Amino acid sequence: MDATEQDYANLHTELSKLLFKNNKKRNAIVTDSLTQQVEYIREGDITLQQVTGDAWNAARRTGKKYTFTVIRNKEDFSLHFKRK
């Protein structure tokens, strides 16, 4: 199922509450014929477990199902969300 703009707007709202930022500098929204995903970053003194838990809770609160990948960068965590 393709995600609508409203689905990603709801996800953005929930992630923003948890201090995640839409990563526009890294081409935040990527769309091709097979996938649609969005990238967020989370900076600060936070553990991988906290990032994963916060991301899972934000996605759950939207009422939609998402898959996500967490990547640890030098100065932040990068989250890549895709609607199931």
The count of structural domains within the chain is: 1
Q: Render pLDDT for 3-14 as a digit per residue (tens, 0 to 9).
A: 677 888 888 899
Which residues are CB-contacts of 46 (< 8 A; sequence separation ≥ 6)?
Answer: 77
Neighbours of 75 (CB within 10 A): 8
Model pLDDT, residue 63 = 87
Model pLDDT, residue 28 = 43
Note down the domain range covering 28: 5-83
Contact (CB, 8 A) for 39 and 78: yes
Q: Render pLDDT for 32-77 as a digit per residue (tens, 0 to 9).
A: 434 567 788 888 888 999 999 999 999 899 888 888 889 898 888 8
Model pLDDT, residue 29 = 46
Model pLDDT, residue 76 = 85
CA–CA distance from 22 to each of 28, 62, 70 (Å)? 6, 17, 14
Q: pLDDT confidence of 84, banded at 50, 70, 90?
A: low
